[in-house]
Amino acid sequence: MLEVFITRKIHDSGVQMLKKAGFKITVYPKDQIIDRKSLLQGSKNKDAVLSLLTDKIDDEFFTSAGSKLKIVANYAVGFDNVDLQSAQKHKVVVTNTPSDKVNESVAEHTFALMLALARRITEADHFAKRGQYKGWSPTLLNGTDVYGKTLGLIGAGRIGSMVARRAVKGFGMKLIYSGPSHNPELEKELGAKKVSQTALLQKSDFVSLHVPLLPSTRHLISDKEFKLMKKTSFLINTARGPVVDEKALLKALKAKQIAGAGIDVFECEPSIDCDLSDNLALKQFDNVILTPHIASATEEARRAMSEVAAKNIIAVLKGKKPLTPAKVN
């Protein structure tokens, strides 16, 4: 019987698909990030491993798993936790879990952060719950409109495009984007304009990041980039934490170089702050909204991710091509 190791409890729909396909399933029993020893032991002599983005899938892993391993199905859209070169060397297929349901969930969360920042929702919530509201005032917690403002997308792929449609069709925003290639569909449908990243940072009221984590995108937003942004602009990151240089972000917030930030992913995740000794912490700023990597955390998205991962495993173990092979665009 073919064996599948799942490194953490996931939505049951995918697990049931694997069982129905006749595979023996082993799930890491603790609902927490799997430790290295358990990851290596659990993967030994398995035909497939369903991994999470918190699992380091490197050459040591592939060597330890052994020659039976045919596929690592990563339960995430990103796959920067997997060494693709090592996988190729060991002749192991790597897949990820993109789907429109996941993309829509991330796009919704991105826009939720934009609205919450602009209208100071979390500040107002804390203000009211602390009993500080004593009556209406014309200057109480004034925010800024989203309508008519300029949204700058760094990365205009699937998720970026979904954010763009919400922005333009729902809130009448102007749209600019930067990236290695043109998106003619967005240009025709939404009047988007492709500009340089420098121009985007200078012109945008909201800068939203939608790029994978690659050597070329690590610290894509750092000191130089924050200095280009308007003091009234907001940064949104629902992509990957290390795309933003945390030290630079903290300095920009302290110096009031930007108006605020909505952060769902962190550079030193799961730590929210990389350096606790510098007396600068993201959580100290009222104009920063932090969410714990939950942009795709909806019932619909988690089910879709589980099922896409299962379908990839079933396909590969039955000698067919994977549905969504992991590849760098």
Task: Find the catalytic residue in 3, 108, 269, 300.
Answer: 269
Question: Packing angle between helix 100-118 and helix 158-165, nearest 10 degrees?
Answer: 50
Q: Which two tokens stand for residue 283?
A: 């959580």
Whole-angstrom Cα distance, residue 126 to residue 285?
Answer: 13
DSSP 208-237: EE-----TTTTTSBSHHHHHHS-TT-EEEE
Task: Find the catalytic residue in 11, 210, 240, 302.
Answer: 240
The sign of the dihedral angle between the CA atoms of 308, 311, 317, 321 is negative
Whole-angstrom Cα distance, residue 92 to residue 77?
Answer: 18
Catalytic status, residue 119:
no
Task: Find the catalytic residue in 158, 218, 293, 303.
Answer: 293
Facing residues of 176 across strands? 152, 193
Catalytic status, residue 109:
no
Is there a contact between 47 and 69 (Cβ–Cβ < 8 Å)? yes
Would you give the DSSP letter of residue 282? Answer: G
Is there a contact between 103 and 158 (Cβ–Cβ < 8 Å)? yes
Catalytic status, residue 219:
no
Residues that are catalytic: 240, 269, 293
